[in-house]
């Protein structure tokens, strides 16, 4: 399949997610698509697979102009996407699952044609028992099933979105073997990833997106440093600020293990000092969220201990953690942090009501107005949270944190905020650190990490690096580690 896309634009609100992207993909090519979080990779792939519609631009398939309004359109034209999360029905038998998809795109294949499936899977070297249930398969096997399904439905262009997350090494080998075979047979493949090693091994060409724009394209063989530079750009490192870090450890983590559906973290160790800021670097979904949530008591670790001032606290729930001064601020502000349909004043009442029974409306109004002024929130005590802008929601979340907070766990604290809001939020956070509060935050912004963090932990597929002092760290090195290079074996 020969694909040509021309001048694609896509906006989400004020964000220009895809900015004038043009691209030609030839038959039989394995194309790598690289870029940091928010670079516009997923948006572009979703446009190509019909999940979202572009604002302007053209898609030519085999020299014919096509309009893709939904994934079924794309499937009928032979474009299929392998999503990060399997798009299947775990409670169904595998055959039922396949037939549903088949009916959806309007093919008239019957039960008999399931024999084709066996052929496809033998060719690719997969070993799924097609008579079983979907729910009994591992994540890797479900991915194989999806691949078989897409090929069975006649897909010519295969888009894979971070396909190696959550599957085993041997499954990855099988997958790569299968993809190479498919390319030889003339299928076109787009491989979205942030792992340089994989891209190097598999792809014959790589394109890099940054901030919505197509920055460049390279043909194999690739130079890693070249790709890292393309992905992250050259950034000027700002002058380091003074540290508030003291010599006293408040939180220590010993051999902490965390198990999640996709990611497992093993034997993590860390000593957090009072007043210290630790940054968690890594691509989204490398385990940072699970790590923060475990430290907040929301997720229970499968092994190891968390000690606060030498007292073990793992095993307790997050409300106990909060009582001890450990607070978590999620990145999904409206979904996990604030209550839609409730106003600012109600949030302030809930955050510091203590043991009162009745609401003291006069007092709470005063407190609300004071906090709103103090945190410079553009809103009134009676404004509902969902009416606030993202930056103001983040300010509200921070203004809700108790003064007694000793450890703040912040997930992407400045994501989606303009520079001014981000700077302001950090000035507030730094102020807190002077009063011995410690902060652990995750971020996708290398500049933010090296500038604000005293030490950085890099996450890669659930692996956590040794703490790296941010002062001696250059961004190129950090970029390589995030891409999975330079890790001690």
Q: How many whole angstroms separate alpha carbon 215 and alpha carbon 76?
A: 31
Residue closer to another protein by CB (options 356, 376) is 356
Residue showing tokens 């080998």: 173
Nearer to another protein, 221 or 341 (CB): 341
Q: How far is the CB of 334 from another protein (least distance, A)?
A: 8
Check binding of 315 to another protein (CB under 8 A): no
Q: Which stretch binds another protein (CB under 8 A): 33-41, 139-147, 218-226, 355-363?
A: 355-363
The count of residues interacting with another protein (CB under 8 A) is: 29
Question: Measuring CA to CA, how many Å separate 368 from each of 7, 232, 330, 393, 404?
Answer: 48, 41, 22, 14, 18
For another protein, the binding residue among 10, 83, 142, 347 (CB under 8 A) is: 347
The owner of tokens 């692996």 is: 463
Least distance (Å) between residue 298 CB and another protein: 8
Choices 231-239, 343-351, 422-430, 437-445 (CB under 8 A): range interacting with another protein = 343-351
Alpha-helical regions (H) of 185-235 = 196-202, 224-232
| 358 contributes a contact to another protein by CB under 8 A | yes
Measured distance CA(369)–CA(362) in Å, rounded: 11
Cβ atoms 165, 461 nearer than 8 A: yes
Among the listed ranges 41-49, 130-138, 322-330, 450-458, the one in contact with another protein (CB under 8 A) is 322-330
By the rule CB under 8 A, 480 interacts with another protein: no
In the bound state with another protein, the residue whose beta carbon lies nearer, of 70 and 361, is: 361
> Any idea of the CA torsion for 299, 302, 303, 304, to the nearest 10 degrees?
0
Binding test (CB under 8 A) with another protein, winner from 114, 215, 313, 342: 342
Task: Report how far residue 82's alpha carbon sits from residue 61's, in angstroms, rounded to the nearest whole number.
Answer: 19
Q: Which of 25, 281, 338, 407 binds another protein (CB under 8 A)?
A: 338
Nearer of residues 217 and 300 to another protein, judged by Cβ: 300
**174-182, 195-203, 251-259, 350-358 -> range binding another protein (CB under 8 A):** 350-358
Positions 23 through 82 that interact with another protein (CB under 8 A): none
Whole-angstrom distance, CA of residue 388 vs CA of residue 342? 12
Q: Establish if 278 lies at the interface with another protein (CB under 8 A).
A: no
In terms of Cα–Cα distance, which of 351, 429, 432 is closest to 385?
351
Q: Is 330 in the site for another protein (CB under 8 A)?
A: yes
Confirm or reject binding of residue 322 to another protein (CB under 8 A). Answer: yes
State in angstroms the smallest separation of the CB of 23 from another protein.
Answer: 29
Which of 359, 423, 434, 435 touches another protein by CB under 8 A? 359
Q: Which stretch binds another protein (CB under 8 A): 177-185, 202-210, 222-230, 353-361?
A: 353-361
Give 298 or 367: the residue with its C-beta nearer to another protein: 298
How far, in Å, CA of 386 to CA of 53, rounded?
A: 26
Measure the CA–CA gap between 155 and 234, rounded to whole angstroms. 39
By the rule CB under 8 A, 245 interacts with another protein: no
- 479 touches another protein (CB under 8 A): no
When the beta carbons of 269 and 351 are compared against another protein, the nearer one is: 351
- Helix (H), strand (E) at residue 237: none
Burial 71-102, CB ≥16 within 10 A → b, else e: beebbebbbbbbbbebebeeeebbbebbbebb
**Does residue 357 interact with another protein by CB under 8 A?**
yes
Region of 404 please: left (phi>0), alpha (psi -120 to 50) or beta: alpha
We find the least distance from the C-beta atom of residue 323 to another protein, in angstroms, to be 8
Of residues 261 and 358, the one with the C-beta less far from another protein: 358
By CB under 8 A, name the one of 72, 114, 318, 428 that touches another protein: 318
Binding span for another protein by CB under 8 A among 36-44, 68-76, 200-208, 328-336: 328-336
The whole-angstrom distance between residue 407's C-alpha and the CA centroid of its chain comes to 23
Distance CA 415, CA 397 (A): 14
Contact residue for another protein among 15, 255, 339, 469 (CB under 8 A): 339
Nearest to 262 by CA among 240, 239, 287, 279: 287
Question: Judged by CB, which is closer to another protein: 204, or 383?
Answer: 383
User: Which H or E run contains 59?
Assistant: strand 56-61
Least separation, in Å, of the C-beta of 223 and another protein? 45
> How does 114-141 read in b/e, with b if 16+ C-beta sit within 10 Å?
beebeebbeebebebebeebbeebebbb
* Length of the chain measured in residues: 489
Is 335 among the residues that bind another protein (CB under 8 A)?
A: yes
Q: CA angle 40-73-79, nearest 5°?
A: 60
Decide: is 168 part of the binding site for another protein (CB under 8 A): no
Q: Rounded to the nearest whole angstrom, what is the least distance from the CB of residue 272 to another protein in the complex? A: 20
What residues numbered 364-403 form the site for another protein, per CB under 8 A? Answer: 400
Interface with another protein (CB under 8 A): 298, 318-319, 322-323, 327-330, 335-342, 346-347, 349-351, 353, 356-359, 361, 400
């Amino acid at each position: 399949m020969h694909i040509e896309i021309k001048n694609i634009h896509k906006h989400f609100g004020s964000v220009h997610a895809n900015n004038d992207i043009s691209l030609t993909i030839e038959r039989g090519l394995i194309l790598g698509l690289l870029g940091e979080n928010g670079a516009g990779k997923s948006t572009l792939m979703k446009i190509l697979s019909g999940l979202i519609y572009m604002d302007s631009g053209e898609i030519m398939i085999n020299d014919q102009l096509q309009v893709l309004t939904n994934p079924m359109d794309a499937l009928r034209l032979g474009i299929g996407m392998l999503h990060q999360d399997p798009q299947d029905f775990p409670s169904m038998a595998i055959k039922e699952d396949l037939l549903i998809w088949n009916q959806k795109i309007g093919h008239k294949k019957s039960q008999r044609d399931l024999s084709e499936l066996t052929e496809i899977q033998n060719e690719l070297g997969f070993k799924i028992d097609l008579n079983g249930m979907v729910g009994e398969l591992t994540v890797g096997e479900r991915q194989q099933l999806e691949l078989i399904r897409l090929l069975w439905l006649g897909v010519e262009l295969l888009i894979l979105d971070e396909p190696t997350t959550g599957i085993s090494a041997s499954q990855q080998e099988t997958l790569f073997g299968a993809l190479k075979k498919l390319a030889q047979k003339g299928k076109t493949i787009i491989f979205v990833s942030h792992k340089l090693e994989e891209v190097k091994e598999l792809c014959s060409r790589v394109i890099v997106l940054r901030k919505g724009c197509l920055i460049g394209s390279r043909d194999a063989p690739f130079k890693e440093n070249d790709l890292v530079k393309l992905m992250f750009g050259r950034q000027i490192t700002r002058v380091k600020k003074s540290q508030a870090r003291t010599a006293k450890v408040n939180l220590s983590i010993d051999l902490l293990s965390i198990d999640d559906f996709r990611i497992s973290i093993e034997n993590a160790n860390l000593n957090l000092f009072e007043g210290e800021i630790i940054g968690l670097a890594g691509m989204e979904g490398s385990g940072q969220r699970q790590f923060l949530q475990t430290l907040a008591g929301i997720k229970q670790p499968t092994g190891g201990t968390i000690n606060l001032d030498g007292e073990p606290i793992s095993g307790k729930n997050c409300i106990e953690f909060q009582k001890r001064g450990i607070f978590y601020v999620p990145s999904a502000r409206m979904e996990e942090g604030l209550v839609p349909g409730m106003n600012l004043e109600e949030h302030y009442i809930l955050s510091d009501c203590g043991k009162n029974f009745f609401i003291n409306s006069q007092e709470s109004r005063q407190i609300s107005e004071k906090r709103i002024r103090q945190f410079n929130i553009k809103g009134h005590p009676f404004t509902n949270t969902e009416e606030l802008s993202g930056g103001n929601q983040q300010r509200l979340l921070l203004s809700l944190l108790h003064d007694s907070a000793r450890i703040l766990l912040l997930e992407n604290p400045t994501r989606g905020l303009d520079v001014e809001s981000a700077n302001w939020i950090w000035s507030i956070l730094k102020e807190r650190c002077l009063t011995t509060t410690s902060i652990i935050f995750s971020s996708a912004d290398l500049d933010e990490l090296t500038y604000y963090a005293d030490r950085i932990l890099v996450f890669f597929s659930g692996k956590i690096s040794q703490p790296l002092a941010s002062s001696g760290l250059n961004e190129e090195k950090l970029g390589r580690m995030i891409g999975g290079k330079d890790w001690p074996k």
